[in-house]
Amino acid sequence: MAQPNHPGNNPSPVGRPYLRIYFKCANQYIRVYRRPEDPEYVARCPTCGLTKKFRVGRSGTGQRFFELSCK
C-alpha cells in the first residue's frame, strides 16, 4: 500500500531542494530554496534582513528545519 503524500515525506514536491526556517524574531516561517548546483542555502529574515548561510556537504546534517533569532 502506498504511503500518503505528506509534506514531510518528500523534501521537495518538484525536486528543488529547500530548508524550512522559522525566524523567531519575525514570528514567520520561510522556505529557502537552492539550485542543485549551489553550495549553500541563503536565508534572510523578512523583518530585519539578517542573512544566514547553510552550507551543503557530505558531513552535514539531514535536518531540514531550523529556528533562528535575530535578537
Residue ranges of E strands in the chain: 18-23, 28-33, 40-44, 51-55, 65-68
How confident is the prediction for the chain on average, in pLDDT?
80
Q: What is the pTM of this model?
A: 0.67
Q: Which three cell numbers stand for residue 41?
A: 542555502
Q: Which three cell numbers stand for residue 26?
A: 519575525
pLDDT band at 9 (very low <50, low <70, confident <90, very high): very low
Q: Which amino acid, one-letter code, is at 39?
A: P
CA angle 54, 60, 66 (to 5 degrees): 50
**Mean pLDDT (whole number) for 19-36:** 92
- Asked if the model's pLDDT at residue 7 lies above 50, the reply is no
DSSP β-bridge partners for residue 28: 23
- Give residue-wise pLDDT tens across range 48-69: 898 999 998 888 788 889 999 8
Q: How is residue 39 annotated by DSSP?
A: S
pLDDT band at 14 (very low <50, low <70, confident <90, very high): low
